[in-house]
Amino acid sequence: MKNIVCISNLDNKSTSHYSLNSWKVWCNKHNIEMFILDQNITSNPEADKFFIFDILEDQDIDYEQILLTNNLTIINPNTPNIFNITDKKISGVMY
Protein backbone atom coordinates (compact mmCIF):
# COMPACT_ATOMS: atom_id res chain seq x y z
CA MET A 1 0.00 0.00 0.00
CA LYS A 2 1.03 3.57 -0.51
CA ASN A 3 0.92 6.83 1.37
CA ILE A 4 -1.23 9.59 -0.08
CA VAL A 5 -1.28 13.36 0.25
CA CYS A 6 -4.88 14.55 -0.23
CA ILE A 7 -5.25 18.22 -1.03
CA SER A 8 -8.56 20.04 -0.87
CA ASN A 9 -8.59 22.34 -3.88
CA LEU A 10 -12.13 23.65 -3.57
CA ASP A 11 -11.43 27.26 -2.55
CA ASN A 12 -8.70 29.80 -3.33
CA LYS A 13 -8.13 28.41 -6.80
CA SER A 14 -6.54 31.61 -8.10
CA THR A 15 -3.40 30.93 -6.06
CA SER A 16 -3.62 27.17 -5.58
CA HIS A 17 -0.96 26.43 -8.18
CA TYR A 18 1.74 27.50 -5.69
CA SER A 19 0.55 24.95 -3.18
CA LEU A 20 -0.10 22.17 -5.67
CA ASN A 21 3.29 22.60 -7.31
CA SER A 22 5.11 22.48 -3.98
CA TRP A 23 3.28 19.30 -2.95
CA LYS A 24 3.87 17.72 -6.37
CA VAL A 25 7.63 18.21 -6.04
CA TRP A 26 7.63 16.88 -2.46
CA CYS A 27 5.46 13.85 -3.32
CA ASN A 28 7.62 12.95 -6.32
CA LYS A 29 10.75 13.21 -4.19
CA HIS A 30 9.33 10.75 -1.62
CA ASN A 31 7.41 8.49 -4.03
CA ILE A 32 4.05 9.46 -2.52
CA GLU A 33 0.79 9.69 -4.41
CA MET A 34 -0.97 13.03 -4.56
CA PHE A 35 -4.76 13.14 -4.70
CA ILE A 36 -6.52 16.43 -5.39
CA LEU A 37 -10.07 16.88 -4.19
CA ASP A 38 -11.42 19.40 -6.68
CA GLN A 39 -15.13 18.61 -6.86
CA ASN A 40 -17.59 19.65 -4.21
CA ILE A 41 -19.49 16.89 -2.44
CA THR A 42 -21.57 19.17 -0.25
CA SER A 43 -22.41 22.85 -0.40
CA ASN A 44 -19.72 23.46 2.23
CA PRO A 45 -16.13 22.95 0.96
CA GLU A 46 -14.84 22.85 4.53
CA ALA A 47 -17.03 19.82 5.22
CA ASP A 48 -16.02 17.95 2.07
CA LYS A 49 -12.68 16.90 3.53
CA PHE A 50 -14.51 14.68 6.01
CA PHE A 51 -15.56 12.46 3.09
CA ILE A 52 -12.01 11.68 1.98
CA PHE A 53 -12.15 8.08 3.21
CA ASP A 54 -15.35 7.49 1.23
CA ILE A 55 -13.91 9.16 -1.86
CA LEU A 56 -10.76 7.05 -1.82
CA GLU A 57 -12.80 3.90 -1.27
CA ASP A 58 -15.20 4.76 -4.11
CA GLN A 59 -12.21 5.18 -6.43
CA ASP A 60 -10.63 1.89 -5.26
CA ILE A 61 -7.55 3.68 -3.96
CA ASP A 62 -5.74 1.67 -1.32
CA TYR A 63 -3.56 3.55 1.12
CA GLU A 64 -1.46 3.02 4.19
CA GLN A 65 -1.52 6.57 5.54
CA ILE A 66 -3.17 9.82 4.48
CA LEU A 67 -2.00 13.39 4.88
CA LEU A 68 -4.93 15.76 4.41
CA THR A 69 -4.27 19.41 3.73
CA ASN A 70 -5.65 22.27 1.66
CA ASN A 71 -4.37 24.45 -1.16
CA LEU A 72 -3.17 27.19 1.18
CA THR A 73 -0.20 25.12 2.35
CA ILE A 74 3.21 25.16 0.74
CA ILE A 75 5.70 22.47 1.69
CA ASN A 76 9.43 23.00 1.52
CA PRO A 77 10.93 20.46 -0.89
CA ASN A 78 13.56 19.62 1.72
CA THR A 79 10.98 18.64 4.34
CA PRO A 80 11.62 15.05 5.45
CA ASN A 81 9.08 12.38 4.64
CA ILE A 82 6.35 13.15 7.18
CA PHE A 83 4.99 9.61 6.99
CA ASN A 84 8.25 8.26 8.39
CA ILE A 85 7.76 10.03 11.72
CA THR A 86 4.14 9.13 12.46
CA ASP A 87 4.79 5.56 13.65
CA LYS A 88 1.66 4.72 11.60
CA LYS A 89 -0.49 6.30 14.29
CA ILE A 90 -3.05 9.05 13.97
CA SER A 91 -1.32 12.40 13.79
CA GLY A 92 -2.89 15.70 12.98
CA VAL A 93 -2.47 19.40 12.63
CA MET A 94 -5.12 22.02 12.12
CA TYR A 95 -5.08 24.28 9.13
Question: Alpha-carbon distance 4 to 55, whole Å?
Answer: 13
| Cβ atoms of residues 38 and 90 within 8 Å | no
Cβ-in-10-Å burial (0-12, 13-18, 19+) of 3 comes to: buried
Per-residue pLDDT of the chain (95 residues; tens, 9 = 90+): 799 999 988 877 788 999 999 999 999 999 999 999 888 888 887 788 788 899 999 999 999 999 999 899 999 999 999 999 888 877 666 55
The pLDDT of residue 94: 57
Angle at 20 between CA 32 and CA 55, to 5 degrees: 65
